[in-house]
Amino acid sequence: MAGYQFIHYEAYARTGNDKKRSLVSIAKEADCDSGNHPHVTAPQPPEYLLGSSFVDAAEAIVAATDASKVNHSGKKRNVRKDANIGIGLIASHPVSIEDLNAMAEPERMQAIAEIKEWAEDAVTFAETEFPGLVQVAALHWDESHPHIHILIGSTEPTDDFEIIHKGEQARKNAQSNDRTGKGKKLGNDAYTKEMRRFQDQYHAEVGIFYGQARLGPKRRRKSRAEWRKEQAQLDCVAKSLQRGKSVDHQVEMALSAAADQAQHIIDTTQEEAVRQRKLVEQKKQIAEQELAQAQQLREQAEREAKEAAGLKQEVAKLKTTLDERVRDLSKYDGFFGRVLGWFGIRQRIEQRTEAKLNTQLVKLRKKVDELSSQVGKEKSMQRQHRVTADALKSLQSALSLSVDDYPHLQEKGALEKHFVYIQELVEANQVPDKLQEQIDAYIEELQMTQFKSHVQSSTLSSDLDM
Protein backbone atom coordinates (compact mmCIF):
# COMPACT_ATOMS: atom_id res chain seq x y z
CA MET A 1 0.00 0.00 0.00
CA ALA A 2 3.01 2.24 -0.37
CA GLY A 3 2.95 5.42 -2.49
CA TYR A 4 3.65 9.07 -2.03
CA GLN A 5 1.70 11.56 0.02
CA PHE A 6 -0.65 14.18 -1.30
CA ILE A 7 -1.95 17.03 0.87
CA HIS A 8 -2.79 20.54 -0.20
CA TYR A 9 -4.76 23.48 1.14
CA GLU A 10 -5.90 26.77 -0.37
CA ALA A 11 -7.62 29.88 0.94
CA TYR A 12 -10.95 31.18 -0.43
CA ALA A 13 -12.91 34.42 -0.21
CA ARG A 14 -16.60 35.19 0.15
CA THR A 15 -16.84 35.94 -3.57
CA GLY A 16 -15.38 34.02 -6.50
CA ASN A 17 -14.22 34.92 -9.99
CA ASP A 18 -13.13 33.27 -13.21
CA LYS A 19 -9.85 32.15 -11.71
CA LYS A 20 -10.97 31.06 -8.25
CA ARG A 21 -14.13 29.76 -6.66
CA SER A 22 -15.75 31.08 -3.50
CA LEU A 23 -15.68 29.39 -0.08
CA VAL A 24 -19.36 28.40 -0.27
CA SER A 25 -18.82 26.95 -3.76
CA ILE A 26 -16.07 24.53 -2.68
CA ALA A 27 -18.20 23.70 0.39
CA LYS A 28 -21.04 22.59 -1.89
CA GLU A 29 -18.63 20.35 -3.77
CA ALA A 30 -17.43 18.79 -0.52
CA ASP A 31 -21.06 18.15 0.49
CA CYS A 32 -21.64 16.51 -2.93
CA ASP A 33 -24.52 18.85 -3.72
CA SER A 34 -26.16 18.15 -7.06
CA GLY A 35 -24.54 20.05 -9.93
CA ASN A 36 -21.46 21.09 -7.95
CA HIS A 37 -19.14 18.19 -8.87
CA PRO A 38 -19.34 17.65 -12.66
CA HIS A 39 -16.03 15.78 -12.68
CA VAL A 40 -17.49 12.95 -10.56
CA THR A 41 -19.18 10.29 -12.67
CA ALA A 42 -20.84 8.34 -9.84
CA PRO A 43 -21.25 10.66 -6.84
CA GLN A 44 -21.71 9.13 -3.37
CA PRO A 45 -22.66 10.75 -0.06
CA PRO A 46 -19.61 11.84 1.94
CA GLU A 47 -18.60 9.94 5.08
CA TYR A 48 -18.44 12.70 7.69
CA LEU A 49 -15.64 12.44 10.23
CA LEU A 50 -16.34 15.82 11.87
CA GLY A 51 -19.43 18.00 11.62
CA SER A 52 -22.35 17.35 9.27
CA SER A 53 -22.44 20.09 6.58
CA PHE A 54 -19.71 21.96 4.71
CA VAL A 55 -22.20 24.54 3.40
CA ASP A 56 -23.55 25.38 6.86
CA ALA A 57 -20.01 25.79 8.19
CA ALA A 58 -18.97 27.96 5.21
CA GLU A 59 -22.01 30.22 5.63
CA ALA A 60 -21.20 30.57 9.36
CA ILE A 61 -17.64 31.62 8.45
CA VAL A 62 -19.00 34.17 5.94
CA ALA A 63 -21.45 35.58 8.51
CA ALA A 64 -18.67 35.93 11.10
CA THR A 65 -16.51 37.76 8.55
CA ASP A 66 -19.38 40.13 7.66
CA ALA A 67 -19.54 41.10 11.35
CA SER A 68 -15.75 41.44 11.73
CA LYS A 69 -13.42 44.41 11.31
CA VAL A 70 -9.86 44.66 10.05
CA ASN A 71 -7.29 46.90 11.70
CA HIS A 72 -5.80 49.02 8.91
CA SER A 73 -3.30 51.67 10.09
CA GLY A 74 -5.08 51.96 13.41
CA LYS A 75 -8.53 52.28 11.85
CA LYS A 76 -11.32 49.72 11.98
CA ARG A 77 -12.64 48.84 8.54
CA ASN A 78 -14.85 46.17 7.04
CA VAL A 79 -13.14 43.09 5.64
CA ARG A 80 -12.74 43.23 1.86
CA LYS A 81 -15.04 40.96 -0.14
CA ASP A 82 -12.11 39.35 -1.93
CA ALA A 83 -10.15 38.71 1.28
CA ASN A 84 -9.42 35.06 1.95
CA ILE A 85 -11.50 34.02 4.96
CA GLY A 86 -11.45 30.21 4.93
CA ILE A 87 -9.32 27.25 3.87
CA GLY A 88 -10.20 24.15 1.92
CA LEU A 89 -7.79 21.27 2.65
CA ILE A 90 -7.58 18.06 0.61
CA ALA A 91 -5.50 14.97 1.45
CA SER A 92 -5.47 11.88 -0.74
CA HIS A 93 -4.53 8.26 -0.04
CA PRO A 94 -2.12 6.61 -2.52
CA VAL A 95 -4.22 3.44 -3.00
CA SER A 96 -6.69 3.85 -5.88
CA ILE A 97 -10.33 2.82 -5.74
CA GLU A 98 -9.65 0.51 -8.70
CA ASP A 99 -6.88 -1.32 -6.82
CA LEU A 100 -9.04 -1.41 -3.72
CA ASN A 101 -11.93 -3.06 -5.54
CA ALA A 102 -9.55 -5.63 -7.11
CA MET A 103 -8.42 -6.91 -3.70
CA ALA A 104 -9.72 -10.06 -2.07
CA GLU A 105 -12.41 -9.31 0.50
CA PRO A 106 -10.27 -9.83 3.66
CA GLU A 107 -7.45 -7.71 2.20
CA ARG A 108 -9.93 -5.12 0.96
CA MET A 109 -11.59 -4.78 4.39
CA GLN A 110 -8.17 -4.41 6.00
CA ALA A 111 -7.22 -1.73 3.46
CA ILE A 112 -10.47 0.17 4.05
CA ALA A 113 -9.86 0.08 7.82
CA GLU A 114 -6.34 1.45 7.27
CA ILE A 115 -7.65 4.23 5.00
CA LYS A 116 -10.19 5.28 7.65
CA GLU A 117 -7.46 5.29 10.27
CA TRP A 118 -5.30 7.44 7.98
CA ALA A 119 -8.22 9.87 7.50
CA GLU A 120 -8.68 10.23 11.26
CA ASP A 121 -4.96 10.93 11.68
CA ALA A 122 -5.10 13.54 8.89
CA VAL A 123 -7.98 15.35 10.64
CA THR A 124 -6.03 15.29 13.91
CA PHE A 125 -3.02 16.77 12.11
CA ALA A 126 -5.18 19.57 10.66
CA GLU A 127 -6.57 20.36 14.11
CA THR A 128 -3.01 20.60 15.40
CA GLU A 129 -2.00 22.98 12.60
CA PHE A 130 -5.16 25.11 12.88
CA PRO A 131 -6.31 24.80 16.48
CA GLY A 132 -9.95 25.69 17.05
CA LEU A 133 -10.61 26.39 13.36
CA VAL A 134 -11.38 22.96 11.84
CA GLN A 135 -15.15 22.92 11.29
CA VAL A 136 -16.03 19.95 9.04
CA ALA A 137 -14.19 16.88 7.67
CA ALA A 138 -15.46 14.11 5.37
CA LEU A 139 -14.05 11.08 3.55
CA HIS A 140 -14.93 10.66 -0.17
CA TRP A 141 -14.91 7.32 -2.00
CA ASP A 142 -16.33 8.44 -5.37
CA GLU A 143 -13.17 9.55 -7.23
CA SER A 144 -9.98 7.85 -8.37
CA HIS A 145 -8.46 7.77 -4.88
CA PRO A 146 -9.96 7.91 -1.39
CA HIS A 147 -9.52 11.46 -0.12
CA ILE A 148 -10.70 13.77 2.62
CA HIS A 149 -12.06 17.32 2.50
CA ILE A 150 -11.50 19.60 5.51
CA LEU A 151 -13.03 23.08 5.92
CA ILE A 152 -11.09 25.51 8.12
CA GLY A 153 -12.13 28.96 9.34
CA SER A 154 -13.41 31.01 12.26
CA THR A 155 -17.12 31.27 13.02
CA GLU A 156 -16.60 33.99 15.65
CA PRO A 157 -16.61 37.72 14.70
CA THR A 158 -13.48 39.70 15.58
CA ASP A 159 -12.29 43.31 15.60
CA ASP A 160 -8.84 42.32 14.36
CA PHE A 161 -9.36 40.04 11.36
CA GLU A 162 -6.27 38.29 9.96
CA ILE A 163 -5.71 35.71 7.24
CA ILE A 164 -5.28 32.13 8.49
CA HIS A 165 -3.31 30.70 5.54
CA LYS A 166 0.12 30.08 7.10
CA GLY A 167 1.97 30.50 3.78
CA GLU A 168 0.27 33.87 3.21
CA GLN A 169 1.09 34.86 6.79
CA ALA A 170 4.76 34.03 6.22
CA ARG A 171 4.76 36.00 2.92
CA LYS A 172 3.19 39.05 4.57
CA ASN A 173 5.56 39.00 7.52
CA ALA A 174 8.63 38.66 5.27
CA GLN A 175 7.64 41.16 2.57
CA SER A 176 5.85 43.66 4.78
CA ASN A 177 5.16 46.77 2.66
CA ASP A 178 8.10 46.22 0.29
CA ARG A 179 6.61 45.97 -3.20
CA THR A 180 9.95 45.83 -5.00
CA GLY A 181 11.23 42.72 -6.70
CA LYS A 182 13.44 41.96 -3.73
CA GLY A 183 10.55 42.30 -1.36
CA LYS A 184 8.38 40.00 -3.44
CA LYS A 185 11.19 37.42 -3.58
CA LEU A 186 11.52 37.50 0.18
CA GLY A 187 7.79 36.99 0.48
CA ASN A 188 7.71 34.11 -2.01
CA ASP A 189 10.67 32.38 -0.37
CA ALA A 190 8.96 32.61 3.01
CA TYR A 191 5.76 31.23 1.51
CA THR A 192 7.59 28.26 -0.06
CA LYS A 193 9.49 27.54 3.14
CA GLU A 194 6.32 27.48 5.21
CA MET A 195 4.50 25.19 2.79
CA ARG A 196 7.47 22.80 2.73
CA ARG A 197 7.43 22.80 6.50
CA PHE A 198 3.75 21.90 6.37
CA GLN A 199 4.45 18.97 3.98
CA ASP A 200 7.37 17.75 6.08
CA GLN A 201 5.28 17.94 9.24
CA TYR A 202 2.45 15.98 7.64
CA HIS A 203 4.88 13.31 6.45
CA ALA A 204 6.46 13.00 9.91
CA GLU A 205 3.13 12.82 11.76
CA VAL A 206 0.91 10.98 9.27
CA GLY A 207 2.36 9.91 5.90
CA ILE A 208 5.31 7.84 7.06
CA PHE A 209 3.04 5.70 9.27
CA TYR A 210 1.15 4.56 6.15
CA GLY A 211 4.14 3.97 3.83
CA GLN A 212 3.73 7.25 1.96
CA ALA A 213 6.87 8.82 0.51
CA ARG A 214 7.48 12.52 1.08
CA LEU A 215 8.04 13.05 -2.71
CA GLY A 216 7.04 11.08 -5.80
CA PRO A 217 9.50 9.40 -8.25
CA LYS A 218 9.23 12.06 -10.95
CA ARG A 219 10.35 14.86 -8.69
CA ARG A 220 13.50 12.95 -7.85
CA ARG A 221 13.98 11.36 -11.32
CA LYS A 222 14.00 7.81 -10.05
CA SER A 223 13.67 4.76 -12.25
CA ARG A 224 10.78 2.37 -11.84
CA ALA A 225 13.02 -0.20 -10.12
CA GLU A 226 14.37 2.40 -7.70
CA TRP A 227 10.86 3.58 -6.92
CA ARG A 228 9.63 0.06 -6.23
CA LYS A 229 12.60 -0.54 -3.98
CA GLU A 230 11.84 2.65 -2.08
CA GLN A 231 8.18 1.65 -1.83
CA ALA A 232 9.19 -1.70 -0.34
CA GLN A 233 11.41 0.07 2.15
CA LEU A 234 8.60 2.48 3.00
CA ASP A 235 6.26 -0.47 3.53
CA CYS A 236 8.72 -1.98 6.00
CA VAL A 237 9.13 1.34 7.76
CA ALA A 238 5.36 1.86 7.85
CA LYS A 239 4.78 -1.61 9.31
CA SER A 240 7.46 -1.01 11.91
CA LEU A 241 5.97 2.36 12.78
CA GLN A 242 2.48 0.88 12.94
CA ARG A 243 3.74 -1.83 15.26
CA GLY A 244 5.45 0.82 17.32
CA LYS A 245 2.28 2.87 17.22
CA SER A 246 0.33 -0.18 18.35
CA VAL A 247 2.79 -0.79 21.15
CA ASP A 248 2.61 2.87 22.10
CA HIS A 249 -1.16 2.61 22.07
CA GLN A 250 -1.05 -0.47 24.26
CA VAL A 251 1.38 1.23 26.62
CA GLU A 252 -0.84 4.30 26.64
CA MET A 253 -3.86 2.14 27.37
CA ALA A 254 -1.97 0.33 30.12
CA LEU A 255 -0.82 3.63 31.59
CA SER A 256 -4.35 4.99 31.31
CA ALA A 257 -5.71 1.89 33.04
CA ALA A 258 -3.04 2.19 35.72
CA ALA A 259 -3.86 5.88 36.12
CA ASP A 260 -7.56 5.05 36.39
CA GLN A 261 -6.80 2.38 38.96
CA ALA A 262 -4.56 4.76 40.89
CA GLN A 263 -7.27 7.41 40.73
CA HIS A 264 -9.78 4.84 41.93
CA ILE A 265 -7.50 3.98 44.84
CA ILE A 266 -7.08 7.68 45.60
CA ASP A 267 -10.84 8.25 45.40
CA THR A 268 -11.48 5.21 47.58
CA THR A 269 -8.87 6.38 50.07
CA GLN A 270 -10.37 9.85 50.09
CA GLU A 271 -13.84 8.41 50.56
CA GLU A 272 -12.56 6.29 53.44
CA ALA A 273 -10.84 9.34 54.89
CA VAL A 274 -14.08 11.30 54.60
CA ARG A 275 -15.97 8.42 56.21
CA GLN A 276 -13.44 8.19 59.03
CA ARG A 277 -13.54 11.95 59.47
CA LYS A 278 -17.33 11.86 59.69
CA LEU A 279 -17.09 8.97 62.17
CA VAL A 280 -14.64 10.95 64.29
CA GLU A 281 -16.94 13.98 64.12
CA GLN A 282 -19.88 11.83 65.21
CA LYS A 283 -17.88 10.39 68.11
CA LYS A 284 -16.75 13.88 69.01
CA GLN A 285 -20.34 15.11 69.00
CA ILE A 286 -21.40 12.14 71.15
CA ALA A 287 -18.53 12.83 73.55
CA GLU A 288 -19.48 16.51 73.71
CA GLN A 289 -23.11 15.56 74.36
CA GLU A 290 -22.06 13.14 77.09
CA LEU A 291 -19.79 15.81 78.56
CA ALA A 292 -22.65 18.30 78.48
CA GLN A 293 -24.94 15.75 80.14
CA ALA A 294 -22.28 15.07 82.77
CA GLN A 295 -21.97 18.81 83.35
CA GLN A 296 -25.75 19.07 83.69
CA LEU A 297 -25.79 16.15 86.13
CA ARG A 298 -22.98 17.73 88.12
CA GLU A 299 -24.83 21.05 88.23
CA GLN A 300 -28.01 19.22 89.17
CA ALA A 301 -26.14 17.36 91.93
CA GLU A 302 -24.76 20.67 93.18
CA ARG A 303 -28.26 22.17 93.18
CA GLU A 304 -29.64 19.14 95.00
CA ALA A 305 -26.78 19.34 97.50
CA LYS A 306 -27.62 23.00 98.07
CA GLU A 307 -31.30 22.11 98.40
CA ALA A 308 -30.40 19.37 100.86
CA ALA A 309 -28.28 21.83 102.84
CA GLY A 310 -31.14 24.32 102.71
CA LEU A 311 -33.55 21.62 103.83
CA LYS A 312 -31.23 20.80 106.67
CA GLN A 313 -31.28 24.45 107.66
CA GLU A 314 -35.08 24.47 107.35
CA VAL A 315 -35.26 21.43 109.63
CA ALA A 316 -32.94 23.10 112.14
CA LYS A 317 -34.97 26.30 111.88
CA LEU A 318 -38.20 24.35 112.39
CA LYS A 319 -36.72 22.62 115.40
CA THR A 320 -35.74 26.00 116.81
CA THR A 321 -39.25 27.29 116.13
CA LEU A 322 -40.79 24.28 117.83
CA ASP A 323 -38.48 24.74 120.80
CA GLU A 324 -39.54 28.37 121.00
CA ARG A 325 -43.19 27.34 120.79
CA VAL A 326 -42.65 24.84 123.55
CA ARG A 327 -41.00 27.52 125.67
CA ASP A 328 -43.82 29.93 124.86
CA LEU A 329 -46.41 27.40 125.88
CA SER A 330 -44.50 26.43 129.00
CA LYS A 331 -44.77 30.00 130.22
CA TYR A 332 -48.47 29.56 130.62
CA ASP A 333 -48.17 26.47 132.81
CA GLY A 334 -49.35 26.80 136.39
CA PHE A 335 -51.61 29.43 137.76
CA PHE A 336 -51.79 31.80 134.80
CA GLY A 337 -52.16 28.92 132.34
CA ARG A 338 -55.25 27.87 134.14
CA VAL A 339 -56.46 31.46 134.10
CA LEU A 340 -56.05 31.55 130.32
CA GLY A 341 -57.71 28.17 130.00
CA TRP A 342 -60.75 29.45 131.83
CA PHE A 343 -61.45 32.12 129.19
CA GLY A 344 -60.41 30.00 126.22
CA ILE A 345 -57.43 32.27 125.62
CA ARG A 346 -55.03 29.41 126.02
CA GLN A 347 -57.01 27.52 123.43
CA ARG A 348 -56.49 30.41 121.04
CA ILE A 349 -52.79 30.39 121.75
CA GLU A 350 -52.70 26.66 121.19
CA GLN A 351 -54.62 27.02 117.94
CA ARG A 352 -52.24 29.68 116.66
CA THR A 353 -49.27 27.64 117.72
CA GLU A 354 -50.71 24.56 116.09
CA ALA A 355 -51.50 26.49 112.88
CA LYS A 356 -47.94 27.78 112.65
CA LEU A 357 -46.67 24.33 113.42
CA ASN A 358 -48.85 22.82 110.69
CA THR A 359 -47.57 25.40 108.19
CA GLN A 360 -44.02 24.47 109.05
CA LEU A 361 -44.91 20.79 108.87
CA VAL A 362 -46.45 21.20 105.38
CA LYS A 363 -43.30 22.91 104.13
CA LEU A 364 -41.16 20.33 105.80
CA ARG A 365 -43.24 17.49 104.37
CA LYS A 366 -42.86 18.93 100.86
CA LYS A 367 -39.12 19.24 101.29
CA VAL A 368 -38.94 15.76 102.73
CA ASP A 369 -40.87 14.37 99.76
CA GLU A 370 -38.47 16.10 97.35
CA LEU A 371 -35.49 14.80 99.27
CA SER A 372 -36.81 11.27 99.59
CA SER A 373 -35.49 10.30 96.11
CA GLN A 374 -31.91 11.09 97.25
CA VAL A 375 -31.76 10.18 100.94
CA GLY A 376 -34.32 7.37 101.03
CA LYS A 377 -37.94 7.25 101.95
CA GLU A 378 -37.42 5.49 105.25
CA LYS A 379 -35.04 8.13 106.63
CA SER A 380 -37.38 10.90 105.50
CA MET A 381 -40.31 9.22 107.24
CA GLN A 382 -38.27 8.83 110.40
CA ARG A 383 -37.25 12.49 110.33
CA GLN A 384 -40.84 13.57 109.70
CA HIS A 385 -42.09 11.31 112.49
CA ARG A 386 -39.49 12.66 114.90
CA VAL A 387 -40.33 16.29 114.14
CA THR A 388 -44.06 15.61 114.39
CA ALA A 389 -43.58 13.75 117.66
CA ASP A 390 -41.64 16.68 119.12
CA ALA A 391 -44.41 19.05 118.07
CA LEU A 392 -47.14 16.86 119.54
CA LYS A 393 -45.18 16.52 122.73
CA SER A 394 -45.12 20.31 123.07
CA LEU A 395 -48.85 20.49 122.40
CA GLN A 396 -49.54 17.79 124.96
CA SER A 397 -47.50 19.71 127.53
CA ALA A 398 -49.55 22.80 126.87
CA LEU A 399 -52.86 20.96 126.92
CA SER A 400 -52.07 19.21 130.20
CA LEU A 401 -53.15 22.30 132.19
CA SER A 402 -56.70 22.83 133.39
CA VAL A 403 -58.58 25.60 135.21
CA ASP A 404 -60.36 22.96 137.25
CA ASP A 405 -57.16 22.51 139.25
CA TYR A 406 -57.83 25.95 140.82
CA PRO A 407 -61.39 25.97 142.25
CA HIS A 408 -61.00 29.37 143.84
CA LEU A 409 -60.66 30.88 140.36
CA GLN A 410 -64.07 29.60 139.32
CA GLU A 411 -65.82 32.32 141.23
CA LYS A 412 -68.04 34.26 138.89
CA GLY A 413 -66.46 37.47 137.71
CA ALA A 414 -63.04 36.75 139.17
CA LEU A 415 -61.37 36.78 135.76
CA GLU A 416 -63.79 38.79 133.65
CA LYS A 417 -62.13 42.09 134.41
CA HIS A 418 -58.85 40.75 133.05
CA PHE A 419 -60.20 39.21 129.84
CA VAL A 420 -59.87 42.21 127.56
CA TYR A 421 -56.33 43.01 128.66
CA ILE A 422 -55.10 39.42 128.40
CA GLN A 423 -56.75 38.99 125.00
CA GLU A 424 -55.03 42.13 123.70
CA LEU A 425 -51.68 40.89 124.90
CA VAL A 426 -52.06 37.55 123.15
CA GLU A 427 -53.53 38.88 119.91
CA ALA A 428 -50.75 41.47 119.65
CA ASN A 429 -48.51 38.52 118.76
CA GLN A 430 -45.46 40.13 120.30
CA VAL A 431 -42.12 38.47 120.62
CA PRO A 432 -42.03 35.87 123.41
CA ASP A 433 -39.66 37.87 125.66
CA LYS A 434 -41.77 41.01 125.50
CA LEU A 435 -44.99 39.06 126.00
CA GLN A 436 -43.42 37.23 128.92
CA GLU A 437 -42.42 40.50 130.62
CA GLN A 438 -45.90 41.96 130.26
CA ILE A 439 -47.66 38.79 131.42
CA ASP A 440 -45.22 38.32 134.34
CA ALA A 441 -45.81 41.89 135.42
CA TYR A 442 -49.52 41.42 135.18
CA ILE A 443 -49.35 38.15 137.13
CA GLU A 444 -47.24 39.79 139.83
CA GLU A 445 -49.81 42.53 140.05
CA LEU A 446 -52.59 39.95 140.38
CA GLN A 447 -50.60 37.99 142.92
CA MET A 448 -49.90 41.12 144.91
CA THR A 449 -53.58 42.02 144.84
CA GLN A 450 -54.48 38.49 145.87
CA PHE A 451 -51.86 38.58 148.62
CA LYS A 452 -53.17 41.87 149.96
CA SER A 453 -56.68 40.52 149.85
CA HIS A 454 -55.56 37.42 151.71
CA VAL A 455 -53.75 39.50 154.37
CA GLN A 456 -56.76 41.69 154.87
CA SER A 457 -58.97 38.66 155.19
CA SER A 458 -56.60 37.15 157.75
CA THR A 459 -56.51 40.39 159.76
CA LEU A 460 -60.25 40.67 159.73
CA SER A 461 -60.60 37.11 160.94
CA SER A 462 -58.15 37.75 163.77
CA ASP A 463 -60.05 40.80 164.83
CA LEU A 464 -63.27 38.88 164.85
CA ASP A 465 -61.72 36.09 166.87
CA MET A 466 -60.58 38.53 169.40
C-alpha 393/C-alpha 136 separation (Å) is 117
Question: How high is the pLDDT of residue 345?
Answer: 52
Q: Would you say how long the chain is, in residues?
A: 466
Helices (H), 132-180: 166-175
Look at residues 258, 383, 274, 374 and name the one whose alpha carbon lies nearest to residue 319.
Answer: 383
C-alpha 336/C-alpha 56 separation (Å) is 131
Question: How high is the pLDDT of residue 75?
Answer: 86
Question: How high is the pLDDT of residue 12?
Answer: 95
Question: How high is the pLDDT of residue 60?
Answer: 96
Average pLDDT, 10 consecutive residues per value, the chain (466 residues): 81 90 91 68 86 94 93 86 93 91 92 93 96 95 92 93 92 89 93 94 89 67 56 53 55 69 76 83 84 79 72 66 58 51 54 66 65 55 55 46 42 48 59 62 65 60 54
Look at residues 41, 42, 40, 37 and name the one whose alpha carbon lies nearest to residue 21.
Answer: 37
Question: How high is the pLDDT of residue 287?
Answer: 79
Q: Are 220 and 249 in contact (CB under 8 A)?
A: no
Question: How high is the pLDDT of residue 112?
Answer: 93
For 199, list phi and psi in degrees, rounded to 5: -65, -45
Q: Are 156 and 64 in contact (CB under 8 A)?
A: yes
Helix (H, G, I), strand (E, B) or coil at 50: strand
> 3-215 sits in which CATH class?
alpha beta
47: left (phi over 0), alpha (psi -120 to 50) or beta: beta
Domain regions of the chain by residue span: 3-215
Look at residues 164, 155, 157 and name the one whose alpha carbon lies nearest to residue 126.
Answer: 164
Per DSSP bridges, beta strands 3-4 and 212-213 are parallel
C-alpha 346/C-alpha 352 separation (Å) is 10
Distances (CA, A) of 169 to 151, 172, 211: 18, 5, 31
Q: What is the pTM of this model?
A: 0.51
